[in-house]
């Protein structure tokens, strides 16, 4: 039986309602992408996959977040691509760390500066650490400082970064706090933390200026190392709770390693605010602390304006510090 035209029209509209509702509810978190500005497997990849898990576990998007990789210049390629070529994409977020801010402070991201993107959210932080072999004669940060004062050429630092990197900065700050010109310290650059730990075990370097979370993982795996100090304002929770801060030992050194995301400069406020609200909601859930700890991060969460202020203040401080340590600085 053929239905009257009016009835058919009503039925057709009713059938289309679910589709219309789906289209109307689609937002910036659906069909989203997180750019990790490095090859797979590193800290940026970890940061993106944290966001992926947070969206999925809290049902904040209808589709799984896609993680893509854009290596080059320790974040420079991705930064330039987003600002110049993809400035208004509402579903694209990019991972960053304190290393990104340090490079921005030194002008290593080209013509773009810290104000050329929208700083979205910080998920947590790691902290710098001074690490030695378990049987090292250095039992405290004061022992390292004393040895540096006596003869800086006989204390060999090593880490996964070149001159001007975060790991070099940690070593340089240690030398400076000991009253030694960082230019006179010996520093060996490795491809990554794993190589530095191997060199430490072999006696090729004496001090590894690395990260607290990495050290905790190595200790848990049975690697015979000892953490002399963490570069945080207060002692860290968990496995390293017994390790004193540098400040406790009389050295004014702090080096937080923040991890988070930024977006393109032309992303509409409504979409940026939707992302901000989503991260705030996810980070307030009971399961977030466990997720953060599993990824080796310590508490430090910020979004929106608070993060923007933090990023710009620290980038300014990094530029000042880099200049003090004799590095070439061309910040924007």
Task: Look at residue 39 and tell me if it is in a domain.
Answer: yes
pLDDT score for 296: 86
Task: Look at residue 176 and tell me if it is in a domain.
Answer: yes
Residue 119: give its domain's CATH number. 3.40.190.150
- Residue 96 backbone class (left: φ over 0; alpha: ψ -120 to 50; beta: rest): beta
What's the rounded Cα separation, in Å, for the pair 245 and 322? 23
Residues 141, 120 share a domain: no
The predicted-structure confidence for 275-317, as pLDDT tens digits, reads as follows 999 999 999 999 999 999 888 899 999 999 999 999 999 999 9
User: Stretch 122-151: mean pLDDT, rounded?
Assistant: 96
Give the list of residues 6+ apart from residue 290 with CB closer than 8 angstroms, or none: none
Contact 148, 178 (CB under 8 A): yes
Task: Look at residue 21 and tell me if it is in a domain.
Answer: no
Strands 92-97 and 207-211, by their bridges, are unpaired
Residues 151, 293 share a domain: no
β-partners of residue 211 are 128
Task: Look at residue 61 and tell me if it is in a domain.
Answer: yes
The predicted-structure confidence for 91-134, as pLDDT tens digits, reads as follows 999 999 999 999 999 998 999 999 999 999 999 999 999 999 99
β-partners of residue 122 are 260, 302
Cα-flanking dihedrals φ and ψ of residue 4, to 5°? -60, 155
- Whether 161 shows a pLDDT value over 90: the answer reads no
What's the rounded Cα separation, in Å, for the pair 95 and 171? 25
Last residue of a domain, one of 211, 226, 249: 249
The predicted-structure confidence for 7-34, as pLDDT tens digits, reads as follows 344 444 444 444 333 333 458 898 899 9
Task: Look at residue 308 and tell me if it is in a domain.
Answer: yes
Last residue of a domain, one of 249, 267, 291: 249
């Amino acid at each position: 039986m053929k239905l009257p035209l009016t009835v058919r029209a009503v039925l057709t509209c009713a059938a289309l309602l679910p589709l219309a509702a789906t289209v109307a509810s689609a937002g910036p978190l659906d069909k989203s992408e997180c750019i990790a500005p490095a090859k797979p497997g590193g800290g940026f990849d970890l940061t993106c996959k944290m966001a992926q898990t947070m969206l999925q576990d809290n049902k904040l998007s209808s589709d799984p977040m896609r993680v893509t990789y854009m290596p080059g210049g320790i974040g420079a390629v991705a930064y330039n691509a987003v600002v110049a070529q993809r400035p208004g994409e509402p579903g694209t977020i990019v991972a960053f760390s304190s290393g990104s801010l340090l490079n921005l402070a030194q002008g290593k991201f080209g013509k773009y500066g810290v104000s050329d993107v929208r700083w979205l959210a910080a998920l947590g932080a790691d902290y710098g650490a001074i690490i030695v072999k378990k049987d090292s004669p250095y039992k405290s940060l004061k022992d390292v400082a004393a040895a540096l004062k006596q003869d800086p050429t006989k204390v060999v630092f090593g880490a996964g970064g070149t001159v001007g990197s975060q790991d070099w900065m940690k070593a340089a700050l240690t030398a400076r706090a000991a009253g030694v010109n960082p230019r006179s310290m010996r520093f060996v650059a490795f491809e990554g933390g794993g190589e530095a730990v191997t060199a430490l075990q072999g006696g090729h370097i004496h001090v590894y200026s690395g990260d607290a979370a990495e050290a905790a993982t190595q200790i848990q795996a049975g690697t015979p190392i000892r953490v002399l100090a963490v570069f945080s304002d207060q002692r860290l929770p968990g496995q390293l709770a017994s390790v004193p801060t540098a400040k406790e030992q009389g050295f004014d050194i702090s080096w937080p390693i923040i991890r988070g995301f930024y977006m393109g400069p032309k992303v509409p406020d409504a979409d940026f605010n939707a992302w901000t609200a989503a991260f705030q909601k996810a980070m307030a859930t009971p399961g977030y602390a466990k997720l953060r700890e599993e990824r080796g991060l310590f508490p430090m969460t910020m979004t929106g304006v608070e993060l923007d202020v933090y990023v710009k203040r620290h980038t300014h401080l990094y530029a000042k510090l880099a200049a003090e340590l004799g590095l070439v600085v061309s910040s924007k």
